[in-house]
Each structure stands twice: as structure tokens, then as C-alpha cells.
């Protein structure tokens, strides 16, 4: 189905199942431990052996000798695999750095060997016996010094939110120089780790020249293609299965070392082999969100109209990598005739940087929304009013492009009302509650919506059950549930009558899970397949599909009404299709908006910050399931608290690694850190986005939260911190 004109009225609009809060259909399986994750597919292949990855102990250099004799002789060891044994390996399209290193080492903890043994403990013990002699060479590990000579570089994010190296509209420098009120400030964000709960894990099994890998991956088709490329084999011979994913946050968008090494280990051991990264390996073996150094300049008239705005960002990555596109939102969020965005990319020999939840906007909004707060203060304007004053209904760089839907002002106004924003004291450090200095902060939320083609197959069984098959993944987000809702609405059956099968490359290729594009695109693909199935049903019972309605388990046309079980009695019916996009997103700017409000208390004696209240108001198209969408947003707000207050990969610039590579030292919020969170969705149905009229919402919940927390801390204390995380040493 080609989506190239705005959606008219369609069966989803009935909203009998879609748009209602449904518990997760996979909830009972998950809470009872019966949903198998990658490391737990005990049922599918007998005789499984355990692989343990040996990671490089230097960040840059060459392996002189790699002695595996002692490891091979250790108890229980079946095989030891090195890159030298593996033959020539290709490099996947989505990988910047080789997943199996040696003799050259590109980063710390790059996989250089796999030990396969009968038990995990034997593999781990033997891995410690692998002797490696390295010739270490100097590496580039310090972002600030590397940025001094870094070139301007465009971003080509795999999640579709790229930006050119430099973009100009009007004459920024001139307008900025002439502006009566100005801000010119620097902001920094550190490297972040995805720190997802389920580690990277894969189980590989060969049958002849065919490979099956049970893995934990967000994008089945990307992973399948890149695994085939890496192993120099035809894509058709590779099957990837990933029905449940315990969090990804962008780290599992791509093929990683666990899958490649499990496949190589299984080949060497002639048995199924499973490999998981240990928690300490995850920070340095896998990808991370790159640190940024950002500069923002804003010029405005005395009455608070922005006349000039510039956002520059610098980040680093391995050779061939991409910049963190932290300038993305500044291109679209506020009005202003004279504009500049620019990005620099330094070469670093730290582990590969790549997408992490809301890549670009998440760190970009952390900076921009402090800058807006600072500017409002200079202008003596309420920060809500300053934002409202500079709202725009068109792309400020291309005024002929309108936003398909944009309710930023309503989000801000309604949020202010609900949060009691009028009680905020605009003068910092004036509100005291016992030992707590109390402050409120606000930030806009913004994240683009991305269209991706997405396919599905829907079957109507003779028993009247509807089964959906697509390689879409559920990374904890609720895909199973919203896909079941979509099929139930389209086929007119109760949700209990729908089975959803996901995460298998044997199924039609979907959009996958990433960049908050999964829910809207995957359900739109299911919609398209259901249209086909409805046609097949109508044809079978001899009615015109155009005026057939599907409701109450029946197809109804004129005065004919046929139960679906009767329609399918002579044999199962199938509909398969994919949603494809015909360029409405070129005519219209598809984005999602929100507002975050935060109240903090800062301990007047210790400087410790405690969240007191949080509210997000979101406008992001039709909300397919308000319950799972709310869970997405409160999860994102929690992640935003982490990035505001504690998350930071500490770079050891001498040895070139992230030194706090475990959850004891890479701190993320726990329940005790999170107070009352409220989420409100404004009514919206975006007919320019897709037939579901839905857009993404998960990452929107993250974008802006960090700045709202930082702004609240400023309001509480009067100390402006521009370097995240806002730890107590920075504002004491």
C-alpha cells in the first residue's frame, strides 16, 4: 500500500480497540518467566555449548602473539576461535568498526577471541588463560583536544535524522551582532551507555550451510543482512529470531559481536553455541551515545522575539563514524529568520559511538532548552511565554513546509496549568521547604517522526483466529499489544482472538524498533496487510470489499452478514502487504511535541538533588494504546533524570576506555530516585503520517527532560550548571 495522500476516514477511526488502554498481551508470559530471551532458548537446540568473549586489553595497537594453548587444554574447552581462525570476514553496512579484532586492535574490549566450553564457568576460566602480547600504539581519547582540529561533518543517522555539516538560513552573524539581547554559551554532555537490562546475547546453530541465530536485536533485517555480509554468505541462508528483547535503546539496532562470535564458535565447535556479553564488557565492546560539546548563540529583540539562533555541536567517533546530530531540533523548534547549525566530528579511538535513544535530539535538547531558559531570564520573560512567543507552524528553514500537526503551545500551556506553574518564584533560590531548596523547571519536548516501510502478513484461520506475522520486534515497548489491537480493529474481532508473532526473519520485513518509528510504521504495515485480508474475505463470501464492514466477528455488507469462521471454513485466508511512503513527508514536516515540567528539591547542606514531581504533556498523533504509551513516556522521563543527574561514562584518557563499566559505577536512576510522574496525551490524529494517524512517542518522552531538571535546579539554587550530569559538586 502506497501512502501518498492524507488518510481519509478508515476502519481504525472506529477506535473500539485502538486508542484504548490494553494490558500487554505478552504480560503473563513475561511475568511468569515463559517468554524466552536470546540466552534462554533451551528448547530449540540440544547440546548447547557456552562461548566467552576475550576482549582486547589495550585500546589501540597490534596483537604480536596470541597464545591459546593453555586455554585449549583447560577443562571442558571445545574450541578457541580467533580472527586468524575465522577466515576473511566482511564488515556489516551498519558497523563502523570490525566486530572481531586482530591482529589490529581498534578499541578497548574489542573481541579478539572466543573460548567455547561445556559450561559458562569453564569458558570463562579458560578465557583467562589466553595469553596476548600487544604492541600498544598511541590513541586519541580526549574529545576536547581532538575537536581542535576536527572537520565539519554531516550526520547521516541510520534512524533518518541526518543533518548537513553546515546549514545557514538568512545571515546569522549579522543578525546576532545587531541583536539587543544575546546569549552565547557552551554546554557539554558526556558519553552515555545504553545499560539495557538484557545484555547482548545470541545462540547460533548451523544446519549444513544454513545458520539460525536466536539473538536480542531491534532490527531483524539489518542484523540478518550484516551477519550474512560479515560471514560472507547469502542472506537467504541466515535466519534471525528475536521474539523478546530486554531493552535496546539503540544499542541493539545493529549486529554486534555476540551474534558473529556465536556463529563462528558454533562452526568451530560443531554444536550450537551461545554467547552473552558480560556486564563489564557492555560499555566498551558495544556502542554508546557520544559525548558532545555544544555552543548555542541566540539573539532576540527586547520583547523576546528570536532574530538569530545558532547551534554548533562537536563529537567524536572511530574513523568512518558519524557525528551526534545534536543540532537537529534547533532547525525546527523555534522561529527566527537568521539561523546556523554546524557539526564537527573528531576521530577518537574510544569504542564506537552510535545511536542511543533519541540520537541527536536527546543531547541536543539538553543544551538548547537550558539556553532557552537562560535567554528567558535575560529577557525577564516567563520561560513558558518565551517559548510560546517563538512558536512556528512552518519549518523555519523552509517556510513553505508546514508541520503536519504541531501543538507545542497547547502542551506548554496545558502543562503549566496542570503543574501549577504560576506558583513558581521566578527569582532563584527563594523557596525553602525545611532543608530543601525547591525549584521548578520547564522544557519543550521535540522529536522528529520518521517514516519507514513496514510489511506484515495476516492470516484468518478456519477457527476464526487472526494471526499476524512480521519481523517487527518488541523491545519492551508493547509492539505485541498494539499490533494485536490494530488487527482486532481492522478485522472486527476481539483482541483475544488475535495472535501476534514477531521477531523472525522468516516473516515479512518490518520497520523494526528504533528512533521511535516502530509503533506507527509497524502498525501501519499491519493495517495494509489487513486491508488485503479484508479483500480476500469479501471476495470469498462474494461481497464488495469497498462497502464491507468488519465487526463483531462478522463481515457485513448490505443485508448480508457472514461470520468470519464461515468465510474461512473452506480454508485459511491470507493478506500480505507493506506500507510504503510516497513523499507526504517531503511536503509536510512530521514531528512530535511536548512539554516537560519538573520540581526538584536541592539539599541546602549537601547539594544532593531529589526529584519531587514530574509532568509530561505530549502531542504525538493518535495514541494507539494509552497505557503502553504512558509506560514509554515514564520510562523515558526516568532516563532523562539519569542523564540530568548521574549518567556519565568516565573516559580514561591515558588508556582509552570507559572506566566505569558496570552498574555499580555507571549510575542510573532507581525507583527511590523517581517521584510522582504524570503523563498527558493531547488529542491528535495526524492524517499526513500514515493510515493509523499515529506517530512515535517513546523518545519524545526523553527529549527535554534533562534540561527541565537542570532548569529546576537553577531555579532552586541560583547556580547555573551547563555540564551534565548536574552532580552536587558542580553547584555547591
Residues engaged in binding ligand MOS (CB under 6 A): 218, 248-250, 253, 355-357, 359, 514-515
Q: Which is nearer to ligand MOS, 19 or 635 (CB)?
A: 635
Q: Which is nearer to ligand MOS, 250 or 601 (CB)?
A: 250
Q: Is the dihedral of CA 366, 369, 371, 374 positive or negative?
A: negative
Q: Which is nearer to ligand MOS, 555 or 703 (CB)?
A: 703
- With vertex at residue 154, the alpha carbon angle to CA 97 and CA 582, rounded to the nearest 5 degrees, is 100
DSSP 3-state of 432: strand
- Taking alpha carbons only, the member of 358, 407, 361 closest to residue 387 is 407
DSSP 3-state of 26: coil
- β-strands 657-658, 651-652 pairing: antiparallel
Residues present in the chain in total: 732
List all residues 6 or more positions away from 555 whose beta carbon is below 8 Å from its beta carbon.
492, 534, 537, 538, 541, 543, 548, 549, 561, 562, 564, 567
Residue of 361, 469, 648, 699 marked active site? 699
- Provide the strand spans (E) within 635-731: 651-652, 657-658, 676-681
Angstrom distance (rounded) from CA 306 to CA 308? 6
CB of 575 to ligand MOS, least distance (A): 29
Looking at 25-148, list the stretches that DSSP marks H as alpha helix, in order from N- to C-terminal side: 27-31, 69-72, 83-86, 120-127, 143-147
- Taking alpha carbons only, the member of 330, 411, 409, 316 closest to residue 367 is 330
Q: Which is nearer to ligand MOS, 63 or 700 (CB)?
A: 700
Q: Which is nearer to ligand MOS, 336 or 512 (CB)?
A: 512
Check if 599 is active-site.
no
Angstrom distance (rounded) from CA 174 to CA 225? 49
Other beta carbons within 10 Å of 640: 32
- Provide the strand spans (E) within 461-584: 466-469, 498-501, 549-551, 554-557, 560-563, 573-581
Angstrom distance (rounded) from CA 464 to CA 553? 8
Q: Which is nearer to ligand MOS, 68 or 477 (CB)?
A: 477
Q: Which is nearer to ligand MOS, 153 or 354 (CB)?
A: 354
Whether 590 contacts 688, CB under 8 Å: yes
Q: Which is nearer to ligand MOS, 250 or 492 (CB)?
A: 250
CB of 313 to ligand MOS, least distance (A): 17
- Respond yes or no on whether the N-terminal peptide bond of residue 249 is cis (omega within 30° of 0): no
The gap between the terminal CA atoms of the chain, to the nearest Å, is 59
CB of 197 to ligand MOS, least distance (A): 14
Q: Which is nearer to ligand MOS, 82 or 643 (CB)?
A: 643
CB of 479 to ligand MOS, least distance (A): 13
User: What one-character DSSP code corresponds to residue 691?
Assistant: T
Q: Which is nearer to ligand MOS, 358 or 456 (CB)?
A: 358
- Judge residue 598's burial from the number of C-beta atoms within 10 Å of its C-beta, 0-12 exposed, 13-18 middle, 19 or more buried: buried
Whether 321 contacts 352, CB under 8 Å: yes
CB of 218 to ligand MOS, least distance (A): 6
Q: Which is nearer to ligand MOS, 198 or 349 (CB)?
A: 198
Q: Which is nearer to ligand MOS, 218 or 609 (CB)?
A: 218
CB of 249 to ligand MOS, least distance (A): 5
DSSP 3-state of 279: helix
Whether 195 contacts 185, CB under 8 Å: no
Angstrom distance (rounded) from CA 510 to CA 490? 18
Whether 391 contacts 334, CB under 8 Å: yes
What residue is closest to ligand MOS based on CB?
A: 250
Angstrom distance (rounded) from CA 260 to CA 258? 6
- Taking alpha carbons only, the member of 691, 622, 724, 701 closest to residue 20 is 622
CB of 513 to ligand MOS, least distance (A): 6
User: What one-character DSSP code corresponds to residue 402?
Assistant: E
- With vertex at residue 508, the alpha carbon angle to CA 507 and CA 509, rounded to the nearest 5 degrees, is 115
List the catalytic residues.
699
Amino acid at each position: 500500500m502506497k501512502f501518498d495522500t492524507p488518510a481519509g476516514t478508515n476502519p481504525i477511526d472506529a477506535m473500539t480497540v485502538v486508542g484504548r488502554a490494553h494490558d500487554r498481551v505478552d504480560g503473563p508470559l513475561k511475568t511468569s518467566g515463559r517468554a524466552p530471551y536470546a540466552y534462554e532458548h533451551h528448547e530449540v537446540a540440544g547440546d548447547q555449548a557456552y562461548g566467552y568473549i576475550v576482549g582486547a586489553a589495550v585500546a589501540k595497537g597490534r596483537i604480536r602473539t596470541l597464545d591459546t594453548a593453555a586455554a585449549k587444554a583447560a577443562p571442558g574447552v571445545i574450541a578457541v576461535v580467533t580472527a586468524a581462525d575465522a577466515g576473511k570476514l566482511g564488515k556489516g553496512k551498519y558497523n563502523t568498526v570490525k566486530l572481531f579484532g586482530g591482529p589490529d586492535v581498534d578499541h578497548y574490549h574489542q573481541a579478539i577471541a572466543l573460548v567455547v566450553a561445556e559450561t559458562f564457568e569453564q569458558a570463562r576460566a579458560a578465557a583467562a588463560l589466553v595469553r596476548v602480547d600487544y604492541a600498544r600504539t598511541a590513541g586519541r581519547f580526549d574529545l576536547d583536544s581532538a575537536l581542535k582540529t576536527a572537520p565539519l561533518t554531516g550526520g547521516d543517522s541510520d534512524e533518518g535524522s541526518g543533518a548537513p555539516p553546515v546549514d545557514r538560513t538568512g545571515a546569522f552573524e549579522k543578525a546576532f551582532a545587531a541583536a539587543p539581547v544575546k546569549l552565547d554559551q557552551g554546554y557539554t554532555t558526556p558519553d552515555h551507555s545504553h545499560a539495557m537490562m538484557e545484555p547482548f546475547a545470541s545462540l547460533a546453530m548451523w544446519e549444513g550451510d544454513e545458520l539460525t541465530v536466536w539473538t536480542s536485536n531491534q532490527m531483524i533485517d539489518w542484523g540478518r543482512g550484516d551477519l550474512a555480509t560479515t560471514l560472507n554468505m547469502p542472506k537467504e541462508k541466515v535466519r534471525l529470531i528475536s521474539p523478546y528483547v530486554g531493552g535496546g535503546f539503540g544499542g541493539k539496532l545493529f549486529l554486534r559481536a555476540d551474534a558473529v562470535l556465536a556463529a563462528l564458535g558454533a562452526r568451530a565447535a560443531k554444536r550450537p553455541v551461545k554467547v552473552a556479553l558480560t556486564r563489564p564488557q557492555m560499555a566498551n565492546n558495544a556502542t554508546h551515545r557520544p559525548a558532545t560539546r555544544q555552543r548555542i548563540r541566540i539573539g532576540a529583540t527586547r520583547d523576546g522575539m528570536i532574530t538569530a539562533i545558532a547551534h554548533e555541536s562537536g563529537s567524536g567517533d572511530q574513523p568512518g563514524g558519524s557525528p551526534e546530530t545534536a543540532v537537529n531540533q534547533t532547525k525546527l523548534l523555534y522561529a527566527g529568520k537568521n539561523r546556523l547549525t554546524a557539526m564537527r566530528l573528531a576521530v577518537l579511538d574510544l569504542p564506537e559511538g552510535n545511536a542511543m535513544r533519541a540520537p541527536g535530539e536527546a543531547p541536543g535538547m539538553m543544551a538548547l532548552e537550558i539556553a532557552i531558559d537562560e535567554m528567558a531570564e535575560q529577557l525577564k520573560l516567563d520561560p513558558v511565554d518565551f517559548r510560546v512567543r517563538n512558536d512556528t507552524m512552518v519549518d523555519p528553514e523552509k517556510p513553505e513546509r508546514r508541520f503536519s500537526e504541531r501543538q507545542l503551545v497547547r502542551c506548554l500551556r496545558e502543562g503549566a496549568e496542570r503543574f501549577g506553574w504560576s506558583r513558581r518564584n521566578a527569582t532563584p533560590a527563594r523557596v525553602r521547604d525545611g532543608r530543601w531548596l525547591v525549584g521548578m523547571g520547564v522544557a519543550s519536548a521535540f522529536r522528529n517522526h520518521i517514516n519507514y516501510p513496514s510489511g506484515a502478513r495476516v492470516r484468518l484461520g478456519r477457527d476464526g483466529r487472526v494471526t499476524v506475522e512480521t519481523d517487527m520486534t518488541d523491545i519492551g515497548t508493547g509492539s505485541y499489544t498494539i499490533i494485536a489491537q490494530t488487527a482486532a480493529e481492522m478485522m472486527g474481532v476481539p483482541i483475544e482472538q488475535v495472535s501476534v508473532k514477531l521477531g523472525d526473519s522468516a516473516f515479512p520485513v518490518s520497520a523494526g524498533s528504533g528512533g521511535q518509528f516502530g509503533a506507527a510504521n509497524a502498525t501501519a504495515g499491519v493495517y495494509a496487510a489487513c486491508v488485503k485480508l479484508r479483500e480476500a474475505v469479501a471476495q470469498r463470501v462474494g461481497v464488495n470489499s469497498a462497502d464491507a464492514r468488519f465487526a463483531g466477528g462478522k463481515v457485513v455488507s448490505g443485508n448480508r452478514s457472514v461470520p468470519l469462521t464461515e468465510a474461512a471454513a473452506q480454508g485459511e485466508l491470507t493478506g500480505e502487504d507493506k506500507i510504503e511512503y510516497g513523499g507526504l513527508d517531503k511536503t509536510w514536516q512530521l514531528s512530535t511535541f511536548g512539554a516537560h515540567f519538573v520540581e526538584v528539591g536541592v539539599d541546602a547542606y549537601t547539594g544532593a538533588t531529589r526529584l519531587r514531581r514530574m509532568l509530561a504533556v505530549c502531542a504525538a498523533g493518535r495514541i494507539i494504546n494509552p497505557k503502553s504509551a504512558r509506560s514509554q513516556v515514564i520510562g523515558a522521563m526516568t532516563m532523562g533524570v539519569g542523564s540530568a543527574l548521574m549518567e556519565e561514562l568516565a573516559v580514561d584518557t591515558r588508556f582509552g576506555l570507559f572506566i566505569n563499566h558496570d552498574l555499580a559505577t555507571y549510575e542510573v536512576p532507581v525507583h527511590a530516585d523517581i517521584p510522582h510522574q504524570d503523563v498527558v496525551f493531547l488529542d491528535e490524529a495526524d492524517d499526513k503520517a500514515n493510515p493509523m494517524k499515529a506517530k512515535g512517542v517513546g523518545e519524545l518522552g526523553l527529549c527535554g527532560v534533562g534540561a527541565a531538571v537542570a532548569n529546576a535546579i537553577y531555579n532552586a539554587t541560583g547556580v547555573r550548571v551547563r555540564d551534565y550530569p548536574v552532580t552536587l559538586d558542580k553547584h555547591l
